[in-house]
Amino acid sequence: MRIHDLTTPALLVEAEALEHNLATMAEALPGPRLRPHMKAHKCTNLARRQVAHGHRRFTCATVREVEGLASAGLGEDLLLANEVLDCSRLGRLDARVTVAVDSIETIEAAARGGVPEVLIDVNVGLPRCGCAPDAAGALADRARAAGLEVRGVMGYEGHLMIVDDRVKQAEGVAQAMELLSAAHAQVGGEVISAGGTGSYDLNQLATEIQAGSYALMDTAYRGLGLPFRMATSLLATVVSASAAYAVADCGLKALGMDHGNPEIEGARVWFCSDEHVTFAAERAPAVGDRVRVWPAHIDPTVAYHETLHVVDGETVIESWPIDLRGW
């Protein structure tokens, strides 16, 4: 199949760039040093490619991601790096499942739901989930008293993923990891899980890095100068054109918009509406032309699409279902 035959908007990943990204990360963080994050692509076929590169343990953000990997036979070691109050679906899986806890309630939910292993989630500076670092030891005791195995700690320095100055970023990551290290000293266990694509090469503490976006990439991460290539774009059709601007059929229902507008090469994007992007191009496109639209935030972009088409130039090699969307 040729990409020209795809219905637009279509989510494309360049096979060579994807392979480059997977290989580059696997060389930097081989085997269990990386726990790829499913939230960035929600695609079982892509997870299999990560397994082929030596990464057999996965990070998930939703119960459905855990369920999907388990039923695909990729359940060797799955971490739900998120707090959940209903663990009943997790406890039924034929997989090794570990869940993050940061409160008595989430500990009780894990025990009640039959999830035997937990990580104590520690707040390392991002105001989101995670207990205060000095509360981690008491929570670990509580978890063990509830019959749970405490494998260690996690602490996501998400507020430090995209920082322009890499020296300042490294300092920030080091400070965040001092908090996690202090918590780990109270908690014990073999696992210190942290990090992401923006800090995969800066985080000196974590035993495993939870990066996900490195595989597909987006314009926000591109700005960091990491060795990962822009692999993923939306193929769109120019459906209307005037002297001043053109309109393509890739709108905000095909794009995560929380990081702002997408980019179009050789053009200035004016705005997105539900099904359209309006842009001014250096060379005015004709109605019917195809353009590539580069998303600003890959994770929510992927979640809008049913299919990820793996392409080599103009040829569609494979079409992978984005099968782990929803909750």
Residues that bind a copy of itself (CB under 8 A): 7-9, 39, 61-63, 82-86, 102-103, 105-106, 123, 127-130, 132, 158, 237, 239-242, 244-245, 247, 249, 252-254, 256-258, 270, 272-276, 278, 286-288, 299-300, 303-306, 326-327
Between the alpha carbon of residue 155 and those of residues 11, 24, 159, 184, 263, the distances in Å are: 32, 24, 11, 10, 32
Cβ proximity to a copy of itself, 127 vs 225, nearer residue: 127
Tell me the closest approach of the beta carbon of residue 23 to a copy of itself, in angstroms: 26
CB 166 within 8 A of CB 200: no
Cβ proximity to a copy of itself, 116 vs 260, nearer residue: 260
Q: What are phi and psi of 3, to 5 degrees?
A: -65, -25
Residues 104-114 as b or e (16 or more Cβ within 10 Å = b)? eebbbbbbebe
Q: How many whole angstroms separate alpha carbon 109 and alpha carbon 141?
A: 16
> Which H or E run includes 24?
helix 15-28
Residue indicated by tokens 């905000």: 252
Tell me the closest approach of the beta carbon of residue 315 to a copy of itself, in angstroms: 20
Q: How many whole angstroms separate alpha carbon 127 and alpha carbon 129?
A: 7
Cβ proximity to a copy of itself, 26 vs 254, nearer residue: 254
The token duo for 177 is 């990891």
The token duo for 21 is 């990204």
Between the alpha carbon of residue 283 and those of residues 96, 233, 266, 277, 289, the distances in Å are: 54, 20, 8, 16, 12
Q: How many whole angstroms separate alpha carbon 215 and alpha carbon 217?
A: 6
Tell me the closest approach of the beta carbon of residue 273 to a copy of itself, in angstroms: 6
Cis-peptide, bond into residue 9, ω within 30° of zero:
yes
Tell me the closest approach of the beta carbon of residue 142 to a copy of itself, in angstroms: 14
Cβ proximity to a copy of itself, 54 vs 260, nearer residue: 260
Tell me the closest approach of the beta carbon of residue 132 to a copy of itself, in angstroms: 7
Tell me the closest approach of the beta carbon of residue 167 to a copy of itself, in angstroms: 25
Cβ proximity to a copy of itself, 19 vs 275, nearer residue: 275
Cβ proximity to a copy of itself, 61 vs 78, nearer residue: 61
Tell me the closest approach of the beta carbon of residue 253 to a copy of itself, in angstroms: 5
Eight-state DSSP code of residue 285? P
Tell me the closest approach of the beta carbon of residue 19 to a copy of itself, in angstroms: 25
Is 292 buried (19+), middle (13-18) or exposed (0-12) by CB count in 10 A? middle
Cβ proximity to a copy of itself, 62 vs 193, nearer residue: 62
Cβ proximity to a copy of itself, 4 vs 48, nearer residue: 4
